[in-house]
A and B are shown apart, each in its own frame.
Chain A
Amino acid sequence: MGCGVSKSNQFHKHSRKAAVLIQRWYRQYVARTEMRRRYTWHIFQSIEYSGEQAQIKVRSYCFSMRSVCYAVFSHQTELENRVYLAGNLISHIFRENDVCWDTEWERYFCYKNIEVPEVYSGPHLTFPLTVEQAVGLLEAFRNKKQLHSRYVLELLLETWKLLRLLPNINRISTCQSKEVTICGDLHGQLEDLLLIFYKNGTPSLEKPYLFNGDFVDRGKDSIEILLILFSFMLVYPCDVYLNRGNHEDHIINLRYGFTKEVLTKYKIHGKRILKLLQKIFSWLPLASVIDQKVLVLHGGISDSTDLGVLAKANRHNVRNTHARILSKSTDSVSSDTTKDEWRQILDVLWSDPMNQDGCMPNEVRGGGCYWGPDITEDFLNRNNMQLIIRSHECKQEGYEFCHNRKVLTLFSASNYYDVGSNRGAYVKLGPDLVPYVIQYQASSMTRELTARQSVGRTERSALKVLREQLFAHKSDLLCAFKKFDSKNTGLVSLNDWASAVESVMHLNLPWRTLRCQLVACKTADGTIDYCDWFNELHIDQSLLETLYRHRSTLETIFRIVDTDNSGFISMEDFRQTWKLLSVYLKMEITDEDICNLAVTIDSNQDGSIDIDEFMEAFRLTDKKSRLERGRSMFMGTASDLTKLEDDPSV
């Protein structure tokens, strides 16, 4: 038989076999990369949402403290003393001096006395604003200039005046063949906004824009983004529309970076700017409707969403969108905003779509709902509409359809979790109301990375964050492990390890898949020595561990306590904050611990503590341990470490 097989046949057979081998291998490589990408995504998203949840808990805790404090007025036990003191502190913080008339506020925000020095090289604004000035502002920010606080206040005042005239629901029309460009979350990422304007053109009479909330927090240029959006809105009030997002809320800003950004960039007038922004945020419209057929809002809907109710609500009374959880008082919301209106606004700003029918509370976020395809169908039919466009969730491709393509999620902050993590997108909607999506990804770094490098980088980043979280929960994890290890062998099976970790972390992550990335030590029979594992992750004293875990919460509380936004809190306030935290954490932090800590922090011993210095201490600890763990044996001084702060590769 062999003589019948020619040489070329033989060659062909081998070629085919070789081809199949390589193709099979390649497809395996792609599938495994995809799986890594997916769980990396899960990690970032779970941690982000659980952070939001923690934020809500802090706030609801603060409110419950206040009601408790009223109840224990007459008791004198140590614990209740602490609670009472804490409650006092909180009352002081949350008191709203809203009784001032707006004209008084206008005087408070007056910019006229602010001098602009000769050396100022940024843009000068004159009002009413012209399009040349708006474009000039764009250019200035592109060139890393900062707008002087005088002009900031003036611009914000004009914006406030305009917003007060707007309805709760913008009505937009695509008449005369105008296409509306809709953008999702920007989160302070100026590069993305500049990219959108570059690709699509700046707003104009022929080019209307709608921005769907979450302009600030997390990114480093939130104030610049706001100033650009507001300036174009002032120039083209009928062609630039803004919807409020859940991050247009000053309590959220305390945690997620916007407050800090403003105070850092505007050291003298920052607090005034923030106060004015508080008002502006509350006056932002809640939603927009295009051609009466397409609803655009930031979060989503619920089974009780009623556009009529939303249109009539006093939206500016809802300053903090979570203020009423657990609180029986109505301090943050005026009494003429009903509970129903308030809840509907919450739904609009916080809800997420889900795949199952029905509607249930959004426990992950702590506000709004999860709503199903049946709710969408019902809502669109009732309101005679055809599409809901929303944002609020980061999507790998920058956008995602769901609910039979009746709901479109749009996200415009590319590389949100890390370089290469996701693209951004914007939508163009013409009179045919068919959404046309354009994607992009900012940062030249991304283009140079291969897919594999990009996934690898993001994955390393995610795992680092995850390890930090695990390390910070060491005590709880130890307890959980001991429950599975009744014989005290110090070992747990892989199954038990995964169950214990999930029971503590509540992140719903694929722990077994991640195990080989998280646990290096493993005994021969596949069990895990959990004490060894903690050594791997890094150990520290329990107080420091607690501080580290709660550093975001700490910072939030500090900034709340710092009522005049000076960046400093007194020793006494510092001590009170610790007492509050110890009750919250159900953990003994002795007065001695507090004193020792305070002494270390108050380096110039002047009786007040610089919040930034305190948090910086954490950043340095974090950076140092990162460096030691992986990249290099860096033996520099503290100031050298600070220099690395801006190094994007660290």
Chain B
Amino acid sequence: MAPKKDPKAPAKKAEPAPAPAAAPAPAPAPAPAAAPAVDLSSVKGGDILFSLHTTDYREAFGLFDRVGDNKVAYNQIADIMRALGQNPTNKEVNKLLGNPSAEDMAQKRVEFEAFLPMLQTIINSPNKAGFEDYVEGLRVFDKEGNGTVMGAELRIVLSTLGEKMTEAEIDALMTGQEDENGCVNYEAFVKHIMSV
């Protein structure tokens, strides 16, 4: 809660020096339980652009800290990265965290300095998707090649394949997208989902 973090929070606005000095080696001791499968010490903070935005990231990180200990839970990491404009799969994030158990996901917490290299890894990863990729992906379901896919089929796919979505999530996503025949114009659909 905004007012109450004041007495505890140290001045957070100091910008880290650019280039090598900002190499955020993961905090040694607090590296929680299992060593991460990805060796984060090799992640260079050498990306100047990255370090310029560190303060922005720190701010967003703070918004997700509901407890006031300047840390966030494992199960929030993926969301924070997404809030910052990245697009990791849950699997990628779990790998970064060392494939923690469900209990660890809920209980363990990580502070900003340990979070940064994880974010850097995701930013550096080549898995960026653009408009065309999404359209391509959906074209797979376009049986008749007429620019539409069956809404029902899309729903089944989203709930059974990949990183399954819940019914509520699918409903929220598909609201207003299906026409009276239950079809979705997927180019329009992709424009819609990218217009946030």
Known contacts A31-B82, A355-B68, A507-B2; A26 and B173 CB within 8 A of each other: yes
B-chain residues with CB within 8 Å of residue A14 when the two chains form the complex: 137, 140
Contact A25 B55 (CB under 8 A): no
Within the complex, the shortest CB–CB distance from A637 to chain B, in Å, comes to 39
B113 close to A (CB within 8 Å): no
Quick one: which of A254-298 are within 8 Å of B by CB?
Answer: none
Contact B80 A31 (CB under 8 A): yes
- Bound-state Cα–Cα, A18 to B82, Å: 19
- Bound-state Cα–Cα, A17 to B161, Å: 9
Q: 1/0 per position for B182-193, CB-CB distance to A under 8 A?
A: 000000000001
A-chain residues with CB within 8 Å of residue B1 when the two chains form the complex: 45, 354
Within the complex, the shortest CB–CB distance from A551 to chain B, in Å, comes to 24
Within the complex, the shortest CB–CB distance from B11 to chain A, in Å, comes to 9
Q: 1/0 per position for B119-149, CB-CB distance to A under 8 A?
A: 0000000000100011001101100000000
| Chain A residue with Cβ nearest B76 | A31
Contact A31 B83 (CB under 8 A): yes
Contact B4 A355 (CB under 8 A): yes
Contact of A26 among B60, B81, B193 (CB under 8 A): B193
| Chain A residue with Cβ nearest B69 | A355
B67 close to A (CB within 8 Å): yes
| Chain A residue with Cβ nearest B127 | A24
Within the complex, the shortest CB–CB distance from A372 to chain B, in Å, comes to 10
B10 close to A (CB within 8 Å): no
Q: How large is the interface on B (under 10, 10 to 19, 20 to 34, 35 or more residues)?
A: 35 or more
B-chain residues with CB within 8 Å of residue A352 when the two chains form the complex: 4
| Chain B residue with Cβ nearest A32 | B83
B106 close to A (CB within 8 Å): no
B-chain residues with CB within 8 Å of residue A32 when the two chains form the complex: 82-83, 85, 196
Quick one: which of A460-512 are within 8 Å of B by CB?
Answer: 495, 498-499, 507-512
Contact B158 A27 (CB under 8 A): no
A95 close to B (CB within 8 Å): no
| Chain B residue with Cβ nearest A365 | B3
B6 close to A (CB within 8 Å): yes
Q: 1/0 per position for A233-258, CB-CB distance to B under 8 A?
A: 00000000000000000000000000
Q: 1/0 per position for A26-37, CB-CB distance to B under 8 A?
A: 111111111100
Query: Could you say which of B40-48, B86-94, B97-105 contacts chain A?
Result: B86-94
- Bound-state Cα–Cα, A46 to B6, Å: 12
Q: 1/0 per position for B50-78, CB-CB distance to A under 8 A?
A: 00000110011011100111000000001
Q: How many A-B residue pairs have CB under 8 A?
A: 139
A-chain residues with CB within 8 Å of residue B82 when the two chains form the complex: 27-28, 30-32
Quick one: which of B166-196 are within 8 Å of A by CB?
Answer: 169, 172-173, 175-176, 193-194, 196
B38 close to A (CB within 8 Å): no
Interface of A is mostly: helix
- Bound-state Cα–Cα, A73 to B162, Å: 81
A451 close to B (CB within 8 Å): yes
Q: 1/0 per position for A535-562, CB-CB distance to B under 8 A?
A: 0000000000000000000000000000
Quick one: which of A360-395 are within 8 Å of B by CB?
Answer: 360, 363-364, 370
Contact A24 B169 (CB under 8 A): no
A165 close to B (CB within 8 Å): no
A521 close to B (CB within 8 Å): no
B-chain residues with CB within 8 Å of residue A38 when the two chains form the complex: 63-64
Contact B15 A19 (CB under 8 A): no
A356 close to B (CB within 8 Å): yes
Known contacts A15-B161, A22-B137, A31-B82; A495 and B55 CB within 8 A of each other: yes
B-chain residues with CB within 8 Å of residue A28 when the two chains form the complex: 82, 85-87
Known contacts A27-B78, A49-B3; A22 and B134 CB within 8 A of each other: yes
A625 close to B (CB within 8 Å): no
- Bound-state Cα–Cα, A483 to B85, Å: 33
Contact B137 A356 (CB under 8 A): no
Contact B161 A16 (CB under 8 A): yes
A3 close to B (CB within 8 Å): no
- Bound-state Cα–Cα, A355 to B79, Å: 23
A-chain residues with CB within 8 Å of residue B173 when the two chains form the complex: 22, 26
Within the complex, the shortest CB–CB distance from A354 to chain B, in Å, comes to 5
Contact B196 A452 (CB under 8 A): yes
- Bound-state Cα–Cα, A33 to B175, Å: 16
Contact A18 B137 (CB under 8 A): yes
Contact A24 B79 (CB under 8 A): no
Contact B15 A22 (CB under 8 A): no
Contact A21 B133 (CB under 8 A): yes
- Bound-state Cα–Cα, A370 to B5, Å: 12
Additional pairs, 10, CB under 8 Å, beyond known A42-B2, A49-B3: A15-B161, A23-B165, A25-B194, A27-B82, A28-B85, A32-B82, A32-B85, A34-B79, A356-B4, A364-B3
Q: Can you list 19 pairs linking A and B with CB atoms under 8 Å apart?
A: A14-B140, A21-B134, A21-B137, A22-B173, A23-B163, A24-B87, A25-B87, A28-B82, A31-B83, A33-B196, A38-B63, A39-B63, A45-B1, A354-B4, A356-B68, A364-B4, A450-B175, A508-B5, A508-B6
A contacts, CB < 8 Å to B = 11, 14-35, 38-39, 42, 45-46, 49, 352, 354-356, 360, 363-364, 370, 450-452, 495, 498-499, 507-513
**Across the A-B interface, the 9 shortest Cβ-Cβ residue pairs:** A18-B137, A31-B82, A19-B162, A20-B162, A364-B3, A28-B82, A19-B161, A35-B83, A31-B79
